[in-house]
Amino acid sequence: MADTLPSEFDVIVIGTGLPESIIAAACSRSGRRVLHVDSRSYYGGNWASFSFSGLLSWLKEYQENSDIVSDSPVWQDQILENEEAIALSRKDKTIQHVEVFCYASQDLHEDVEEAGALQKNHALVTSANSTEAADSAFLPTEDESLSTMSCEMLTEQTPSSDPENALEVNGAEVTGEKENHCDDKTCVPSTSAEDMSENVPIAEDTTEQPKKNRITYSQIIKEGRRFNIDLVSKLLYSRGLLIDLLIKSNVSRYAEFKNITRILAFREGRVEQVPCSRADVFNSKQLTMVEKRMLMKFLTFCMEYEKYPDEYKGYEEITFYEYLKTQKLTPNLQYIVMHSIAMTSETASSTIDGLKATKNFLHCLGRYGNTPFLFPLYGQGELPQCFCRMCAVFGGIYCLRHSVQCLVVDKESRKCKAIIDQFGQRIISEHFLVEDSYFSENMCSRVQYRQISRAVLITDRSVLKTDSDQQISILTVPAEEPGTFAVRVIELCSSTMTCMKGTYLVHLTCTSSKTAREDLESVVQKLFIPYTEMEIENEQVEKPRILWALYFNMRDSSDISRSCYNDLPSNVYVCSGPDCGLGNDNAVKQAETLFQEICPNEDFCPPPPNPEDIILDGDSLQPEASESSAIPEANSETFKESTNLGNLEESSE
């Protein structure tokens, strides 16, 4: 397929993470010819989501830790005398310290339908020496049969709802899944009614459980396609930049969202729910009447703190934690504001930062629900694919499993003029956007990267049991020791389409100070216990039981100046990977900034044209125009259970 690619584009984007996908969509929408390539076999890069078997394949890829493509002199022969080449890396080094633990019982007499089953780990999470053991015993070996890293993995990567449905919030029912069809070298997001009918989520879990409250590892493998496990754990602020961009560009119709139903706090060894809205505050039994009045008065001030500079002017040089102590707030209220509303660090956040974070939290309340946050059904990995689809609708060309060997730079102008791909084809372009992980060590020798510590747990119950088992929760566990960081915990239920029925998917995230397991293990021990045979019948166990756990460190390449990269041509722009923040504002700001450099004075992701205003040259273009522009109307039955984002926006405004 490579020989049929056009030889010239306006913009070439390397990597399919969220910032790159937004830029590709914006450039394509503005009429630029866009080529979007990725050496991986799936969309999203480190923003991706995987089914359980897909995640095992991803783990195996990093376990092998070797280059897939060997050095080839083919591209070197194409470099002319007045040119030089910047070789790109063919090995992703953004993931480190991968450790996997399986606690769910393995029924050896039961056939496991999906390949890649891990051997049961009898060690507890608290075992001391586990790095080598995890890499050698708990990760799949080369002899084990795993799903191959191919374009077909997109089917397992992040199933999604029918793109023809408008974005819905609090949708209880989801009508179908999407599948991206790929040939050997080119992938363009598309949908097929026949394929979707085969992949429609089943409402009831028909798998027989051997015993009550017992979930085996074989069962997790069999139900693996019900899991959509994010590599990066984030939420969307209901008035954040990404939600605004989704609405403005109409990309929102390619995805659906659910509200985060509750915000939790961890105090004195107990998990408790934090009141968010005014009604929650006054209905709370955790707060005294005096505390309720104190809290409402302080939150009212935070909503308009800029109007009262005298209230905080003398405290700008101290931390928000110290500032809260000067206010008429009890220690209980200080804790709630600090860790569950502002969600800032006790040592690193200034007074202004804390007031801004509190105002942002309050500003987002009530737009789509009782909390400020939304979560995309089928996982965070849906978002890059939504923007990739928009890019493809407006003419962008997509190639997965298509590596770029080098950038070709003109010696005289010091500008990049072309790329040379894995087949030796030279493709010319004016602008080049490259995800940070594709640069070689020589290019990044002066870059100082931070790290993100991540853990993914599959558990058998929620951290805080209530009448409903379909709760989506966020919890911040404060740092205990100097030099460590607060841990963010996001717990997802099966209605988010990220885990099988009867389980919860738990994401833990913090800025790294050590390896992921060393950073997060103490929090895991506070909130959960390992799933063991002895405790299966014990109904009195208060903590959720861990069925399966994954720890890894991810590179944080955000907020790195382009001057840190060696000899970077002026028309080559760097896109960073995920940052450690809760929201996605950093990715949107980065995308808009780079877009304005490429397309100055042009609108960033404008709304698609009204189909009635489109003048077509031929009937053959009608389906594409309809798909890119038409906004389907929600029927009355669907509207009862879920609400269109645009309708919500109108009512809330």
Which residue's entry shows tokens 């949908």? 191
Residues 6+ apart with CB under 8 A from 215: 104, 209, 460, 502, 503, 531, 547
Q: Which two tokens stand for residue 15?
A: 């990597």
Token pair belonging to 42? 């799936």
Q: Which residue has the higher pLDDT, 119 or 73?
A: 73
Identify which has the larger pLDDT, 207 or 222. Answer: 222
For residues 318 and 351, the answer to whether their CB atoms sit within 8 Å is: yes
CA-CA distance, 211 to 251, in Å (whole number)? 44
> Residue 611 carries which DSSP code?
G
Least confident of 15-24, 130-139, 247-256: 130-139
SS3 273: strand
Nearest to 574 by CA among 448, 440, 446, 439: 439
Q: Using one digit for the tens of pLDDT, what is the confidence trace for 517-544?
A: 999 999 999 999 987 755 555 555 678 9
CATH number belonging to the domain at 278-364, selected among 2.60.120.10, 3.20.20.140, 1.10.1060.10, 1.10.405.10: 1.10.405.10
> Which residues have CB under 8 Å from 466's CB, separation 6+?
none
Alpha-carbon torsion angle 365, 469, 157, 70, nearest 10:
90
d(CA 233, CA 510): 10
- Specify whether the CB–CB gap between 626 and 149 falls below 8 A: no
Spatial contact of 411 and 19, defined as CB atoms under 8 Å apart: no
Q: Where in the chain is the domain with CATH 1.10.405.10?
A: 278-364
- For residue 631, what pLDDT band results from cuts at 50, 70 and 90? very low
**368-406 residues labelled b (16+ CB within 10 A) or e (exposed):** bbbbbbbbbbbbbbbbbbbbbbbbbbbebbbbbbbbbbb
State how far Cα 121 lies from the chain centre. Answer: 28
At residue 173 the predicted structure's pLDDT band, cuts being 50, 70 and 90, is: very low
pLDDT band at 50, cuts 50/70/90? very high
pLDDT at site 3: 58
Strands 643-644 and 181-182 turn out to be unpaired
Say which residues have a Cβ less than 8 Å from residue 586's Cβ, sequence separation at least 6: 558, 559, 576, 579
Q: What's the confidence (pLDDT) of residue 311? A: 85
**pLDDT, tens digit (0-9, with 9 covering 90-100), for 68-91:** 445 555 677 788 888 899 999 888
Cβ-contact 641, 407 below 8 angstroms = no
Mean pLDDT computed over 583-587: 95
| pLDDT grade for 122, boundaries at 50, 70 and 90 | very low
Contact call for residues 118 and 140 (beta carbons, < 8 A): yes
pLDDT of residue 359: 93
Q: Looking at per-residue confidence, does 133 or 645 come out higher?
A: 645
DSSP letter at 627 equals H
Joined tokens for residue 371:
């909390």
Which single residue is written with the structure tokens 């008065």? Answer: 297
On the 0-12 / 13-18 / 19+ scale of CB atoms within 10 A, 274 is buried
Whole-number pLDDT of residue 469: 82
> 8-93+378-447+560-598 architecture in CATH?
3-Layer(bba) Sandwich (3.50)
One-character DSSP codes across 74-105:
TTGGG--TTEEEEEBPSS--SEEEEEEEE-S-
Rounded CA separation 83/64 (Å): 35
pLDDT of residue 113: 56
β-bridge partners, 373:
237
* Distance in angstroms (rounded) separating the CA atoms of residues 270 and 161: 37
3-state class (DSSP) for residue 19: helix
CA distances from 135 to 99, 217, 218, 230, 512 (A): 6, 19, 21, 21, 20
pLDDT at 65: 57
| Residues 180, 189 contacting (CB under 8 angstroms) | yes
For residues 327 and 11, what is the distance between their CA atoms, to the nearest angstrom?
53
User: What is the Cα–Cα distance from 382 to 393, expressed in whole angstroms?
Assistant: 17
Query: Which of these ranges, 46-60, 108-122, 413-427, 553-567, has the smallest mean pLDDT?
Result: 108-122
Question: Alpha-carbon distance 519 to 97, whole Å?
Answer: 12
Q: Which of 246-250, 366-370, 453-457, 585-589 has the lowest mean pLDDT?
A: 366-370
Classify 181 as helix, strand or coil: strand
Residue 369: its pLDDT value, please?
Answer: 84
Q: What are phi and psi of 509, to 5 degrees?
A: -140, 140
Phi then psi for 243, rounded to 5 degrees? -60, -45
Q: Which amino acid is at 92?
A: D
Given a cut of 70, is residue 125 above it in pLDDT?
A: no
pLDDT in tens, 465-510: 887 888 999 999 998 887 789 999 999 999 999 999 999 999 999 9
Pick from 198, 201, 191, 195: nearest CA to 162: 191
- Is the model's pLDDT at 25 over the cut of 60? yes
Residues in Cβ contact with 220 at an 8 Å cutoff, skipping those fewer than 6 apart: 52, 104, 227, 458, 500, 503, 547, 548
Q: In the chain, which segments carry CATH 3.50.50.60?
A: 8-93+378-447+560-598
Q: What is the DSSP letter of 120?
A: P
Confidence label for 309 from pLDDT (cuts 50, 70 and 90) = confident
Contact status, residue 187 vs residue 151, Cβ threshold 8 Å: yes
Look up the pTM and report it.
0.80
Backbone conformation region of residue 172, classed left if phi is above 0, alpha if psi is from -120 to 50, else beta: alpha
Cβ atoms of 149 and 116 within 8 Å: the answer is no
End-to-end CA distance of the chain: 49
Interval 363-376 mean pLDDT: 91
What is the predicted pLDDT for the residue at 384?
A: 97
What are the tokens at 258? 């659910």
Distance, C-alpha 420 to centroid of its chain: 30
Specify the length of the chain in residues: 653
| Residue 490 near residue 507 (C-beta atoms within 8 A) | yes
Give the model's pLDDT for residue 570.
92
The residue with tokens 């769910």 is 104
> What is the spatial distance between Cα 463 and Cα 156, in angstroms, rounded to a whole number?
28
